Amino acid sequence: MTDEEPPDPRRGRNPAERAGATPIDPDRFRSQRDMPIVRRQTGPVEIDRPAAPRVVRRRRSRRTGARLPRVGLLGLAAALAISGVAVIVLAVLTEPELEVASGARHDLSATTPVLSARRAPMLLTEPVAARNLRAAVQPVLDAAPDTSCIRVDDGGVPLVLSGNDVPLVPASNMKLLTAAAALDLLDPDERRATTLVTDGAPTDGSVVLGNLYLVGGGDPLLSTAGYLAQLPNGVPPATDVAAVADQVVAAGVREITGSVVGDESRYDLVRTVPAWPERFLTQGQVGPLSALLVDDGWTVGLGPTDEPAVHAASVLTDLLRERGVTVAGPPLAGVAPDDAALLTEVPSLTVAELAQQALRFSDNTTTELLVKEIGLRHGGVGSTEAGLEAISNWMTENDLPVEGVVLDDGSGLSEQSLLTCDLLSAVLVDDGPVGVVAGGLAVPGQDGTLRDRLTGPPLGERVRAKTGTLLSVAALSGWLGTDGERQLGFSFVINTPGRQVTSTDLGLQQQLLVSMVDHPTAPSPDQLGPLPPAPQG
C-alpha cells in the first residue's frame, strides 16, 4: 500500500529560474573555515559560521554500501598543503649556493609567492563550488515555508543547511530510518517463511485428515495477480499465492476433510497505529496489520477485511478448489497444534529485498510488518511498540542525531512521528550512494513512486529518492548525480500546517534538484595554479 495520492505535480507549476553564480576572484580567496553556510532568513540576512561536522561512530553494519569520506577532507588537504609549503621554504633557506651554468636563463622570476594559496589550487576550487551551490539554491530556501528543512551533503560534508535540526513530520521519509534499522537489526539475507502444516500426515498421500493450517511468518507480500495489477505505481515484487496452492497440489493433496485455517499468531492482533485516521484502512493506504496477510487484507471491490487470517484462508481455499482439491469446511482462523506435520513452506523475499520494495513503492504495510518483526526479535513481542523501542535504541547506539525525534510508527503515516533533515542525511550518508537503501530508492520514469515525476531533463535518471506525501507534508530525500560526477545527498521536508500541500510545494523539490545539477561550478585547478614566471626587474 502507498502514501496518500499527492496533488498532480504537472498542474500549476511555475518554479523560479535557477539562480546563477560566478566564481569569486581567486586573489580574494578566503579559506573554507571562514566560508559562511547560507541559511534562509525572513528578515535581514545573518551569516552563520558552520560548526565542525559531527563524527558519527558506527558499529559494524551488515549493509554493503560503500561509504564516502565524511569530514575533515579539506582540513587534511590544508594540513598537507601547509606542510608542503614549509618543506619548500626550508629547502629554499638551506639550499647551498650553486654555480649557475653559463647557458642557463636567469632573467625570469617567480610571480607567485611561496606562501600563496595558488600553490594549493584545490583548496580554492572546493570553497568556490560550495559558495556557488549555496547561491543557486537560495531561491528555494527563500520560497520554502518556514516549517521546512533542507540539507545537502557531499560525502557527509554539509554544503547547504536550512532548518536541518528542526523536527518535522516526515511522511514516508520515515521509511528510510525503518529500512536502515531493519537491515542492521535483522539479517538482510533472511527470508520469512509461510508454512502449511496439517493435523496429521495424509492417510494415503492425497487426503488431509482434519485441517490444513496456513501459518503466517510475517511475509507482507503474499498476493494474487489480480490485486497486484490494480496498484497505482506499477507491479511490485511479491510472493504469488497461486504458487502456494500449486505447491499443495504438487505435494499430492487432493482432499482436505477439515478446513483451511489461517494462523496469524506470530505477531500481536493490533491492526493499526492509534494516530492513524480510519480512512487509511478504508482507502487502502495500509492493510490491517497481521503476520498472515494476503493482498494486504484487501478484496478488490469490497475493501479491507476485519479478519486477515480468515481472509487469507479464504483466498487459499478458493485457489485449491480451482485446482480440483476438495475442501470440506469453511475458511477459519486459529493456531496450528504443536505436533502439526509440515506439508510445505513458501519463502518470502529477503529482508533486504523487502526493505527495498517498501522504499521504492512506499509500501506502508511492508514497513509496519518489518517493525513488528524487529519487535519480536529484539523485544520478544511482535508489536509496533516493541519494534519502535528497538529502533530507538539502535539510533542511540549508533550515535545518530536523535534530539527532537519521535517514533510513532514505522511508515510515516502518523503525523505524530517527527524526524530532522540531519537524521535523514545521516541515514543516507551511512548507507552511501550505492548501498542497499540507495538501491531501493525510486527512479523517475520507472515503477515506483517517481514513475510520473521528475522524468524530464536535466533530472531523469540522475535522481534516486524516497518520496513522502500526506495532506500537509511533502518530503523528498535521496541522491543526485551531478555534471561534475558528484553524488550529492539531499533531504527536503516541507510541512504546511493549516493547509494542504500544493503543486507549488512539489515544484520546489524539483527546483532544488535542478539547482544542484551543475555542482561543482568553479574555476579549474589549472586556472588557480601558480602564475607563470615574469621577467626580472
Query: How far is the C-alpha of 511 from the C-alpha of 255, rounded, in Å?
Result: 62
Per-residue pLDDT of the chain (537 residues; tens, 9 = 90+): 555 444 444 444 333 333 333 333 434 333 343 433 434 443 333 334 334 333 333 444 444 444 434 344 444 444 444 444 444 334 334 444 434 444 445 565 555 565 554 444 455 677 888 899 999 999 999 999 999 999 999 988 999 999 999 999 999 999 999 999 999 999 999 999 999 999 877 767 799 999 999 999 999 999 999 999 989 899 999 999 999 999 999 999 999 999 999 999 999 999 999 999 999 999 999 999 999 999 999 998 889 999 999 999 999 999 999 999 999 999 999 999 999 999 999 999 999 999 999 999 999 999 999 999 999 999 999 999 999 999 999 999 999 999 999 999 999 999 999 999 999 999 999 999 999 999 999 999 999 999 999 999 999 889 999 999 999 999 999 999 999 899 999 999 999 999 999 999 999 999 999 999 999 876 655 555 555 665 655
Residue 522 lies in a domain: no
The answer to whether the peptide bond before residue 444 is cis (omega within 30 degrees of 0) is no
CATH number at residue 310: 3.50.80.20
d(CA 449, CA 208): 44
Residue 255 lies in a domain: yes
- H or E element: which one contains 176? helix 174-185
Rounded Cα gap, residues 288 and 306, in angstroms: 7
Residue written as cell 505436533? 339
Whether 30 is in a domain gets the answer no
Quick one: angle between helices 122-143 and 503-516, nearest 10?
170
Q: Which domain holds residue 312?
A: 191-350
Asked if residues 444 and 196 have their Cβ atoms less than 8 Å apart, the reply is no
Within a domain: 452: no
**Number of structural domains in the chain:** 1
Asked whether residue 520 is assigned to any structural domain, the reply reads no
- All three cell numbers of 517, joined, read 545539477
Is 361 within a domain? Answer: no
Q: Which amino acid is at 155?
A: G
What is the maximal distance between C-alpha atoms in the chain? Answer: 111
